[in-house]
Amino acid sequence: MKIATWNVNSVAARLPRLTSWLADAQPDVVLIQETKSTDDRFPVGAIADAGYAAAHYGQGQWNGVAILSRVGVTDVQRGFGDDDPEARIIGATCGGVRVYSCYVPNGRSLDDPHYRYKLDWLGRLGELAAARSAGPFILGGDFNVAPTDLDCWDPASFVGATHVSEPERAAVRAIESTGLVDVIRELHPGEPAFSWWDYRGGAFHQNHGLRIDLLLVDEALGRRATAGYVDRDARKGDKPSDHAPVVAEFDAV
């Protein structure tokens, strides 16, 4: 099974790139973030033409998450099941695996109320992971956190900023402590493997990036991982997302 996560930064703007990538990469399941689409405008037809069923949770020009699958989409869960006002998490069962696509709040700055919202949101994500049922489980998406200094091109330039603060990193470690493995880091312990690069200042060409897009999997599934990588080619060319897909492959589930 091949699983990917990708913040597309607007599914409408990136639809031709998305469908082309699906045809080339042939993933079984793709976790999508920042669709910037309402449910009724999400391109279900174009995605079906590419061979994928889709479940989407959106709210318009901000946020939005989706799951694309060619191995089935059942038992869809949108949101945490309460009054969270933002469309940031969706779950489904695909080919016998429980998967969640999440778009963690940015946080903006350490003194912004959105930073507290981010930490609270990560805490709730940890509760969801801890309460999961037995069986294969994948929690992937744009976490807006670089888990360690290795995941940041220049840690000194981010001191005092979001994405690298200790409370954020501790929140991600708490999620992992429920029995989840960061599959890319597990397979490549010394490789930065950046997944996001600013559009400005030639950041991509200089590889000035962050690894903020994660695939966390249960330990049993982690032992069956055969490959994990960032598809940098998808960040090249005309009008790309500022994120690249992160891909993991597993022995048959």
Q: Which residues are catalytic?
A: 103, 142
CA distance 166 to 31: 26
Q: How far is CA 132 from CA 66, 136, 174, in A?
A: 20, 10, 15
Strand (E) or helix (H) holding 186: helix 183-187
Query: Coil, helix or strand for 196?
Result: strand
* Residue 237 to residue 18: CA distance in whole angstroms: 13
Nearest-10 Cα torsion for 197, 200, 203, 204: 60
